[in-house]
């Protein structure tokens, strides 16, 4: 019995900032971002949006597209690193939002949960649901990844920002992609990228050493939670390379395949914190699997030969065929954390569809990564009916229909200084309001569909 992705849908904000505008404002060479990193546009949340509306919109599109009955969904598992509450998961918000629109009580017996492990949390949710369907082949599950990748202004991560959600229906006998069971894993506890709870002394705010009550806080310290991460880009890149290489080798052992896997995979889907991260790091694996070709390169050291190989006709052809199709959407959206690898899948399939590429029954490889850190490697097989389902997403047309904003508006959005939406919401879920008065509901978030 085959298990995998039967349907896939997505949601991204209707606004974006052209990378060239960011480059000009920050006095960064435009070519460095566009040609060096593959960045073109950066998706940004509008005032009425958050990661919950993105997830709800993606699931709603999926349900409407396939006329799915909510009662038939046994699980909705969320992968995210952008949770909005320390206790209440995004998944529980989605239950109420979807039931309000599609029928009260219809998800009463649906299991829901959030999984968080930086950018690999969506893959964890995905594998959990695959295992569930293998044990319960008559049931269906939805995996949704939703994130807002936000970095500090003027930081080295600013140009990699993005926002979006990917929703997938997991079922037996899938129409898009069946997933094989073996998984290669590599894990190590590190601090390459994280979002810690930080504290400051209340005295700094109240100017009093007597620890007076402040907005209900009795402790002498006040906790601060930022959307933006603490990160070391160079160290994170090193961790990324080490984890994917180790997980790749472990996958070979787990799947009993010792051949050159990258040659067998028609498409390769990697976590892309920026568009060209995959092509710039996969050379490490490519060089190990093509040692003869590596030795033919100019250079005295391994590093010099590897760099020469990364510019060789053989590797550039490899990138164009196997990695580039997944990069197309990433370059136009930016990093979406847990959804990055699945956006790559959607991009690669839609690109293949539009270019009449025959990939039926071909293998695709997944190389996932989450800071902190963990990598998972696995593979799947494209199914015969993939085209009919993928075409319904209208991926490229939707990306082309978005509206560019100027740099001043971008900075105001980032600082949360705007109170009205840039694009009036239409046929989408919106954040209606956040409760600020009721003691027992303080901070509760309420949504509707416009």
Q: Encoding tokens for residue 97? A: 């939002």
Q: Encoding tokens for residue 432? A: 């209606």
Per-residue pLDDT, 132: 98
Mean pLDDT (whole number) for 35-57: 98
Judge contact between 68 and 10, C-beta under 8 A: no
Tell how strand 374-382 and strand 177-179 pair up.
antiparallel
Mean pLDDT (whole number) for 367-391: 98
Q: Which residues contact 435 (CB under 8 A, 6 or more apart)?
A: 441, 442, 443, 444, 445, 446
Per-residue pLDDT, 432: 97
Q: What's the rounded Cα separation, in Å, for the pair 149 and 163? A: 6
| Residue 215 belongs to some domain of the structure | no
Per-residue pLDDT, 156: 95
| Residue 216 belongs to some domain of the structure | no
Per-residue pLDDT, 11: 98
Q: What's the rounded Cα separation, in Å, for the pair 228 and 269? A: 26
Domain range spanning residue 34? 3-192+232-449
Q: Measuring CA to CA, how many Å separate 87 from each of 146, 418, 444?
A: 17, 28, 12
**Burial tier of 274 (Cβ tally within 10 Å: 0-12, 13-18, 19+):** buried
Residue 216 has pLDDT above 90, yes or no: no
CATH for 349: 3.40.47.10
| Residue of 6, 363, 380, 345 lying closest to 178 (CA atoms) | 380
Per-residue pLDDT, 258: 82
CB-based burial, 108-134: b 16+ in 10 Å, e otherwise: eebebebbbbbbbbbbbbbbbbbebbe
Write the pLDDT tens digit of every residue in 306-351: 999 999 999 999 999 999 999 999 999 999 999 999 999 999 999 9
| Residue 12 belongs to some domain of the structure | yes
Q: Mean pLDDT for the chain?
A: 97
Q: What's the rounded Cα separation, in Å, for the pair 91 and 74? A: 13
| Residue 428 belongs to some domain of the structure | yes
DSSP at 229: P
> Which residues on adjacent β-strands are paired with residue 160?
none
DSSP at 106: T
Give the count of domains, the chain.
1
Count other Cβ atoms within 10 Å, centred on residue 360. 12
Judge contact between 171 and 126, C-beta under 8 A: no
Per-residue pLDDT, 100: 96
Mean pLDDT (whole number) for 26-54: 98
Q: Which residues contact 244 (CB under 8 A, 6 or more apart)?
A: 186, 270, 281, 284, 285, 367, 369, 375, 377
Residue 43 has pLDDT above 90, yes or no: yes
Per-residue pLDDT, 362: 98
% of residues, the chain, pLDDT over 90? 94
| Residue 423 belongs to some domain of the structure | yes
| Residue 253 belongs to some domain of the structure | yes
| Residue 440 belongs to some domain of the structure | yes
Looking at per-residue confidence, does 381 or 209 come out higher?
381
pLDDT band at 240 (very low <50, low <70, confident <90, very high): very high
DSSP 73-100: EEEEEEE-S--S-SSS-HHHHHHHHHHH
Mean pLDDT (whole number) for 201-223: 90
| Residue 414 belongs to some domain of the structure | yes
Residue 364 has pLDDT above 90, yes or no: yes
Q: What are the phi and psi torsion angles at 156 (to 5°)? A: -75, -10
Write the pLDDT tens digit of every residue in 249-304: 999 999 998 888 989 999 999 999 999 999 999 999 999 999 999 999 999 999 99
Count other Cβ atoms within 10 Å, centred on residue 419. 6
Q: What's the rounded Cα separation, in Å, for the pair 71 and 98? A: 12
Per-residue pLDDT, 215: 86
| Residue of 427, 423, 422, 421 lying closest to 449 (CA atoms) | 427
pLDDT band at 144 (very low <50, low <70, confident <90, very high): very high
Write the pLDDT tens digit of every residue in 402-440: 999 999 999 999 999 999 999 999 999 999 999 999 999
């Amino acid at each position: 019995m085959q298990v995998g992705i039967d349907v896939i849908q997505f949601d991204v904000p209707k606004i974006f900032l052209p990378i060239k505008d960011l480059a000009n404002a920050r006095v960064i060479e435009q070519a460095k971002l566009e040609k060096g990193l593959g960045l073109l546009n950066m998706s940004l949340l509008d005032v009425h949006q958050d990661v919950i509306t993105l997830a709800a919109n993606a699931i709603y599109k999926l349900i409407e597209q396939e006329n799915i009955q909510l009662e038939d969904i046994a699980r909705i598992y969320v992968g995210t690193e952008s949770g909005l509450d320390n206790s209440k998961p995004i998944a529980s918000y989605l239950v109420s939002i979807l039931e309000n629109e599609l029928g009260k009580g219809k998800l009463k017996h649906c299991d829901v949960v959030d999984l968080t492990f930086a950018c690999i949390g969506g893959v964890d949710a995905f594998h959990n649901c695959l295992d569930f369907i293998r044990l319960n082949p008559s049931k269906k599950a939805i995996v949704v990844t939703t994130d807002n990748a936000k970095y500090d202004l003027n930081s080295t991560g600013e140009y990699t920002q993005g926002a979006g959600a990917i929703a997938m229906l997991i079922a037996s006998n899938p129409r898009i992609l069946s997933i094989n069971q073996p998984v290669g894993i590599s894990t190590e506890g590190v601090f390459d990228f994280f979002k810690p709870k930080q504290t400051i002394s209340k005295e700094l705010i109240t100017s009093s050493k007597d620890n007076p009550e402040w907005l209900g806080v009795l402790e002498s310290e006040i906790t601060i939670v930022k959307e933006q991460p603490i990160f070391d880009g160079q160290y994170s890149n090193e961790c990324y390379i080490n984890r994917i290489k180790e997980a790749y080798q472990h996958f070979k052992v787990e799947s009993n395949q010792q051949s050159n896997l990258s040659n067998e995979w028609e498409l390769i889907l990697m976590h892309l914190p920026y568009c060209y991260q995959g092509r710039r790091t996969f050379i490490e694996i490519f060089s190990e699997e093509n040692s003869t070709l590596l030795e033919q390169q100019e250079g005295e050291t391994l590093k010099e030969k590897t760099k020469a190989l990364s510019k060789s006709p053989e590797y550039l052809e490899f990138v164009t065929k196997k990695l580039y199709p997944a990069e197309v959407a990433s370059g136009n959206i930016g990093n979406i954390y847990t959804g990055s690898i699945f956006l790559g899948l959607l991009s690669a399939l839609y690109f293949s569809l539009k270019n009449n590429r025959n990939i039926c029954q071909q293998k695709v490889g997944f190389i996932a990564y989450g800071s902190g850190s963990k990598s998972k490697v696995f593979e799947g097989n494209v199914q015969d009916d993939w085209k009919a389902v993928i075409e319904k997403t209208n991926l490229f047309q939707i990306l082309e229909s978005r509206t560019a904003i100027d740099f001043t508006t971008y900075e105001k959005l980032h600082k949360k200084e705007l109170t009205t939406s840039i694009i009036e919401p239409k046929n989408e879920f919106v954040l209606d309001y956040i409760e600020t008065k009721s003691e027992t509901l303080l901070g509760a978030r309420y949504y509707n569909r416009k």
